Amino acid sequence: MAKRQAAARAAQRSSSMNAVPDSCDVVVIGGGPAGSLAATYLTGKGYSVVLFERQKHPRYQVGESLLPDVWKYCDAAGVSDAIAAEGFLRKAGGSVDWNGEMRRLSFGDFGYTRPALHVERDRFDSILLERARASGAWIGEEIAVLEADLSRAGDNESEVSVSYRPVGEASASRIRCRYVVDASGQTGVIGRQLGLRVFDEGFRFMSVWGYFANSSYLAADGLIYPAQSVRQVPPTTYVSALPQGDGWAWLWHIMLRETTSIGLVIPKAWASETKGSAESWEAWYLKQCRALPLLQRLLADATFCEGSLRLVRNYSYRSSQVAGPGFFLLGDAAGFVDPIFSVGVVFSMYSAYAAAHTIDRCFRQRARRDEHRSIFSSQVQARLELSRSLALPYYQATDAGHARAREAMGFSSMQAQALMYAASLLTDRSGNFDSMADSPHAHRAAAERVRPLNIPLE
């Protein structure tokens, strides 16, 4: 352990001198929540870590609505005080308008004592990355990882080499390590290299989103408040089904400190049928926003932030394998389904925690590496399967998939089970979820906490 701590200190010294070390225990690809937390947890266990991030923080990222569970992972990384000091907006719960039925839930009703958050991800992710740096990880921003050589990873002394290139430079270099952690998000460096990514052919969705200034919002009491009240009266995340798209399409409305994030999640076919070839995505998006009476009301005094429109296709996939000799896939690099229940960032943090624990076990008990990896794989795959069961309306679990999702459910606290079950009651996308939850207590507790929302639409 002393040797490792010395190596970690050497990596840290090297960071301040700006030279990439030649070797380390673990290379982390990507400085999003998954990568930064994995680096922090691993340095905390005494390992030397080099993290490459191809962008410069603060960098833009979508995914602004966070569940209260993020706090337990932030506590474990020692970063909760810095997150709390930033003053992100507290989110009180969810307000959902699904095919004419309006309902709401409040996290407080499920016994959560710490708030869910609405965060500007550039700031949130920067705080996590700075924590990783302070913990002793060597952080290389604007350095892109190209690929990993895993051909000797199965050997007794697992040896991996990772090639990287600073942005704007022509030549690549290599670093040696024992394990590589792929937290590169949707890029999925290793998943793509090894052909592990499986796209959900039936889930042909895309998302288009942008930002408004001065939008009103819905609070947990079911009332509408002006933007100026957002610090006094916490907002909910407002979600609504869209009238088009066979009941699958939906939108989000997330209040941030200065702006509001509003996004549409829609079948690709519907977008191509309804958008004229000469029409811009921005014009099409604004037209859809205006078509919903409640959203129109929230946006009555709002202005669109010019140039803020963004779009993503093919964001829903999983990996046939999330760990193998010498590598681990975390967060979005392992898989992502759909943003409807805001589980992306929590899943990234969970997988970072699980990977750090597993890598530590693999270093300490080499003879049992396969067993440790297999536990990591089955737990991460089970979580992904649970997300699929919650988010995919047509979800047809295979026997193995169903068993995995039930296993993840079984590992969740009663509080988390009740919240998941309640979330599944808010829309009709999760009809299959009933068969997932074992506990009648969680069912009852959830159903009692979903309240009607009475907002006159005129």
Q: Which is nearer to ligand FAD, 257 or 402 (CB)?
A: 257
Using CA atoms, how far apart are residues 133 and 163, in angstroms rounded to an integer?
21
- Contact between 136 and ligand FAD (CB under 6 A)? no
Distance of closest approach, residue 266 Cβ to ligand FAD, in angstroms: 11
Nearest distance from C-beta of residue 454 to ligand FAD, angstroms: 26
Check residue 35 for interaction with ligand FAD (CB under 6 A): yes
Residue 44 or 188 with smaller CB distance to ligand FAD: 188
Residues contacting ligand FAD: total by CB under 6 A? 39
Site stretch for ligand FAD (CB under 6 A), options 178-186, 295-303, 374-382, 411-419: 178-186
Give, in order, the Cα–Cα distances in Å from 227 to each of 214, 236, 260. Answer: 5, 13, 9
Q: Which of 46, 185, 245, 267 binds ligand FAD (CB under 6 A)?
A: 185
CA atoms of 159 and 153, how far apart (whole Å) = 5
Tell whether residue 315 is a contact of ligand FAD (CB under 6 A). Answer: yes
Window 143-172: contact mask with ligand FAD (x via CB under 6 A): -xx---------------------------
Q: For the chain, what percentages of helix, strand and coil (3-state, to nearest 5) are there?
A: 40, 25, 35
Of 249 and 445, the one with the shorter C-beta distance to ligand FAD is: 249
**Rg of the chain in Å (alpha carbons):** 22
In angstroms, give the least distance from the CB of 352 to ligand FAD.
Answer: 8
Residue 326 within binding range of ligand FAD, rule CB under 6 A: no
CA distance 213 to 146: 39
Give the whole-angstrom CA distance, residue 430 versus residue 385.
Answer: 13
* Residue 257 to residues 7, 121, 234, Cα–Cα distance (Å): 41, 12, 11
Alpha-helix runs per DSSP H in 199-245: none
Asked whether position 342 contacts ligand FAD by CB under 6 A, the answer is: yes
Q: Using the rule CB under 6 A, which residue among 24, 28, 30, 136 binds ligand FAD?
A: 30
SS3 state at 213: strand
Q: Which of 339, 383, 421, 427 touches ligand FAD (CB under 6 A)? A: 339
433-436 long-range contacts (CB < 8 A, ≥24 apart) are: 433/389, 433/390, 435/402, 436/386, 436/389, 436/402, 436/405, 436/406, 436/409
Of positions 29, 74, 249, 356, contacts ligand FAD by CB under 6 A: 29
By CB under 6 A, the residues from 356 to 415 that bind ligand FAD are none
Whether the Cβ atoms of residue 271 and residue 216 lie closer than 8 Å to each other: no
Alpha-carbon span 105 to 253, nearest angstrom: 16
Dihedral angle of Cα 438, 441, 443, 444, to the nearest 10 degrees:
160
Q: In the stretch 60-89, what mask flags binding to ligand FAD with x, by CB under 6 A? A: -xxxxxx-----------------------
Query: Which residue intervals of 267-398 are DSSP H helices?
Result: 268-274, 281-290, 293-298, 331-334, 344-364, 369-391
Q: Is 336 a residue that touches ligand FAD (CB under 6 A)?
A: yes
Considering only 8-16, 173-181, 192-200, 327-335, which stretch makes contact with ligand FAD by CB under 6 A? 327-335
Binding mask 206-225 for ligand FAD (x = CB under 6 A): -x------------------
Q: Which is nearer to ligand FAD, 316 or 445 (CB)?
A: 316
184 binds ligand FAD (CB under 6 A): yes
Instruction: For residue 417, state whether it binds ligand FAD (rule: CB under 6 A).
Output: no
Tokens of 287: 């037209």
Q: Which residues are near ligand FAD by CB under 6 A? A: 29-35, 52-55, 59, 61-66, 144-145, 183-187, 189, 207, 263, 312, 315, 331-333, 336, 339, 342, 344-345, 348
